[in-house]
């Protein structure tokens, strides 16, 4: 059910990609020997991190970046798969692998970049304990992030998932125990911040929370643990171009000391920089 929704959304998203340039244009750039690396990203934090690298580090490393911003999670992978992008930065590897399976693409994670912890946000209550019986909770509707959201709720004691529940084939019916009788609504990730006025709480992906001006300390009532978290966002490429030296250079710059300092100072703990080898 979830993957069919992703595939359907991808078909719609393709229509919105015309402004990103046809594949032949980027292929022509490569044929002409251009060194510009075309990278797709959501605006916050990926776009901001890439802009910092482009302005402060890329030239010295012999790299030129063209950054194309996207407002959803499907179009950047569609554009990458079709060759309109050389790489993208916005997703964790579980999402990428699920996208590959659902859309017959061959994308690969090249470099871990940063962790954006998932959070439960509310305009109605200031703690999880204050959620009343029957409270309405919005969840991201893409499979990997919805499963991630349910795990977060389970770890907080709000729900219990049935033994053996796995990301590959879960559904809301796998919630075995729901003591507060929470009423869950599946919502497209970009719409989650807007849903806060209509529900009691919403689990919001970090990038959309930041774009909406939500403060992860003041506005969240529950946050993911950082240690051992598998949802680190990655620099991704097509498998066929993953060894492009320009992509390798960008991967190195994502772990450059100046980039790590920028992330720490700019996001004050709401984004956790990845560690190099």
Residue pLDDT tens, the chain, 277 long: 443 343 334 433 433 433 344 343 444 344 334 579 999 999 999 999 999 999 999 999 999 999 999 999 999 999 999 999 999 999 999 999 999 999 999 999 999 999 999 999 999 999 999 999 999 999 999 999 999 999 999 999 999 999 999 998 999 999 999 999 999 999 999 999 999 999 999 999 999 999 999 988 889 999 999 999 999 999 999 999 999 999 999 999 999 999 999 999 999 999 999 976 5
The pLDDT, as a whole number, for residue 218 is 86
pTM assigned to the model:
0.85
The pLDDT, as a whole number, for residue 216 is 86
Structure tokens at 138: 């919005």
The pLDDT, as a whole number, for residue 276 is 62
Write 268-271 long-range contacts (CB < 8 A, 24+): 269/216, 270/116, 270/117, 270/206, 270/210, 270/216, 270/217, 271/45, 271/114, 271/115, 271/116, 271/206
Q: Is 91 in a helix, a strand, or coil?
A: strand
Domain covering 119-223 assigned CATH 3.40.190.10 in the classification: yes
The pLDDT, as a whole number, for residue 34 is 55
What is the domain partition of the chain in residue ranges? 2-117+230-273, 119-223
- CATH (residue range 2-117+230-273): 3.40.190.10
Q: Is 41 in a helix, a strand, or coil?
A: strand
Q: Is 129 in a helix, a strand, or coil?
A: helix
65's CB contacts (< 8 A; 6+ apart) are 36, 37, 39, 50, 53, 54, 58, 250
The pLDDT, as a whole number, for residue 130 is 97
Is 119-223 the same fold as 2-117+230-273?
yes
Q: Given strand 87-92, what is the order of strands in its sheet?
A: 64-70, 36-42, 87-92, 233-238, 107-115, 272-273
CB 242 within 8 A of CB 110: yes
């Amino acid at each position: 059910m979830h993957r069919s929704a992703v595939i359907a959304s991808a078909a719609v998203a393709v229509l919105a990609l015309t402004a990103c340039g046809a594949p032949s244009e980027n292929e022509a750039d490569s044929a002409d020997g251009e060194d510009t690396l075309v990278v797709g990203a959501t605006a916050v934090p990926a776009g901001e991190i890439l802009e910092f690298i482009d302005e402060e580090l890329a030239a010295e490393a012999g790299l030129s970046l063209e950054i194309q911003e996207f407002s959803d999670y499907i179009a950047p992978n569609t554009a990458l798969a079709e060759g309109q992008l050389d790489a993208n930065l916005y997703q964790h590897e579980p999402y990428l692998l699920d996208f590959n399976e659902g859309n017959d693409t061959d994308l690969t994670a090249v470099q871990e970049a940063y962790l954006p912890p998932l959070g439960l946000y509310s305009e109605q209550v200031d703690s999880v304990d204050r959620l009343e019986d029957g409270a309405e909770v919005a969840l991201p509707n893409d499979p990997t992030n919805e499963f991630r959201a349910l795990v977060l709720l389970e770890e907080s004691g709000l729900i219990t998932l049935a033994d053996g529940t796995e990301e590959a084939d879960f559904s809301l019916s796998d919630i075995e125990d729901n003591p507060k009788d929470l009423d869950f609504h599946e919502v497209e990730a970009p719409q989650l911040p807007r849903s806060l006025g209509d529900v009691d709480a919403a689990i919001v992906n970090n990038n959309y929370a930041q774009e909406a001006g939500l403060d992860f300390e003041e506005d969240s009532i529950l946050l993911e643990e950082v240690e051992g978290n598998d949802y680190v966002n990655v620099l991704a490429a097509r498998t066929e171009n993953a060894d492009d030296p320009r992509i390798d250079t960008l991967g190195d710059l994502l772990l450059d000391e100046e980039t790590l300092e920028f992330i720490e100072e700019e996001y004050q703990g709401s984004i956790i920089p990845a560690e190099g080898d």
